[in-house]
Amino acid sequence: MAVQVLIPTPLQKYTADQANVAIEASDVDGLIQALAVTFPGIQERLTDENGKLRRFLNIYVNSEDIRFLDNQSTPLNDGDEVSIVPAVAGG
């Protein structure tokens, strides 16, 4: 099942400047693994050495924050839209 992944500008250098990519995955964890295979170097920007999402990243599935769903186990369905959003800080 293909989902559309919206890639933020800072990570587009790993996706050949693509802002939107189609990935086959059944859950968010599988999506991260598929991104790592398709786009070498991106996984280190998404997860720590234990495979957990970096704390400065937010991931949304169809506009729902996965922290309020099943985190990296959140299931994905064909046609879902996944947004990777880096946290923004400032003052």
Q: Where do the structural domains in the chain lie, given as residue ranges?
A: 2-86
Q: Distance (Å, rounded) from C-alpha 90 to C-alpha 25?
A: 34
pTM: 0.91
| pLDDT digit string, tens, across residues 33-47 | 999 999 999 999 999
Q: CB neighbours (10 Å) of residue 35?
A: 24
The CATH topology of domain 2-86 is Ubiquitin-like (UB roll) (3.10.20)
Residue 90 scores a pLDDT above 90: no
With a cut of 70, say whether residue 91 has pLDDT above it.
no
Indicate the DSSP class of residue 74: -
Confidence of residue 83 (pLDDT cuts 50, 70, 90): very high
Candidates 49, 1, 53; CA nearest to 32 is 53
